[in-house]
Amino acid sequence: MNNEGFGLNASNGFIGIGTAMRQQEACGSKHESTDPQAPKEIGSDELISFSFSNNTISASCELKDDGLHVLASGGDPSARNGTRFKLDYISCTNSLLDKLNSIIKQYSLAANNGYYCHVDGLPGGCGDSIDAVYASGERLHMYSNQSPTVSFDASDAICDAFRDDALKNGFDFNTAGSNVQIYDDADRQYLQGIWKGRHFGSEITAIFTGNTVKIFVDGNMTDNTEYTVFEGFVRPNRLKNGISKAKSKSDYEEFEGCSSFAKSNSFTLTAYFTKSSYSTCNLLRQKK
């Protein structure tokens, strides 16, 4: 059996033993093999772990003593549009593994079991990887960075199975539905205190106390409201009763004086002014 390339990395999908060697090889070189001992039919129905990664999602689940541990991440990494998500939870249901096993059987995924293909120099997102382990010791494992190893219908079914389980556990495949921090931005503890700056000659002051922010322009208070942090931005906490998570940015209304704040590398806050302009000013933390 040629095991080169079969290794699971929780954040980046499959990585190979020969990765470092391949980096020195010419772009376009193709490394292809098939595990002759990989079963083309899986007899067991007792799935104990499963992982899948493509250009849409990276997701895995594993049955442990304290329950089914689920990891999932995905979304658009190039923009803050609310699509990015990251989940890490113990499922309150026992249905995900059964559903994934049904997908394996329904789409005959084991027919190509043991296939491995790596083409040097290809950008990410072209292929996929899958690894499923059964209590019987049987294993389904495929990897390709050139093209998908499973059909689009099968990959959609896998994504739907993980999202359905997330929804049953109170999460979702978007930023607001995540339970793991995605952006390294301002949090409530960081914001506490007084921040000041100038905007077109006016003095701007933001005072964070607990869950409340007061905003002053030249000493005149323009806002006094509870706030929440969402996608690194501070927004008024005006969610409807009974809703614990924002479904989208439209669930929030803008501040009158400042619409949002975000932490920057210089440890300043940037305020967006909506009454007179959309320009910004940096607010610096004031020493006590």
Q: What is the pLDDT of residues 93-119, one digit of tens each?
A: 889 999 999 999 999 999 999 999 999
Q: What is the pLDDT confidence band of residue 128, given thresholds at 50, 70 and 90?
A: very high
Structure confidence at residue 268 (pLDDT): 63
Under 8 Å between Cβ of 125 and 27: no
- Confidence (pLDDT) at 173: 93
H or E element, residue 240: none
pLDDT tens-digit readout, 230-274: 666 777 765 544 444 445 444 444 555 665 666 665 456 666 555
Q: Which fold has domain 188-285?
A: Lipocalin (2.40.128)
pLDDT at residue number 26: 57
Domain coordinates of the chain in residue numbers?
Answer: 8-168, 188-285
153: part of which helix (H) or strand (E)? helix 152-168
pLDDT (mean) for 111-136? 93
C-alpha to C-alpha distance for 85 and 180, rounded to whole angstroms: 8
Return the pLDDT at 167: 94
pTM for the model stands at 0.65
**9 pLDDT above the threshold of 60:** no
Which residue bears the tokens 């699509």? 83
Count CB-CB contacts under 10 A for residue 151. 12
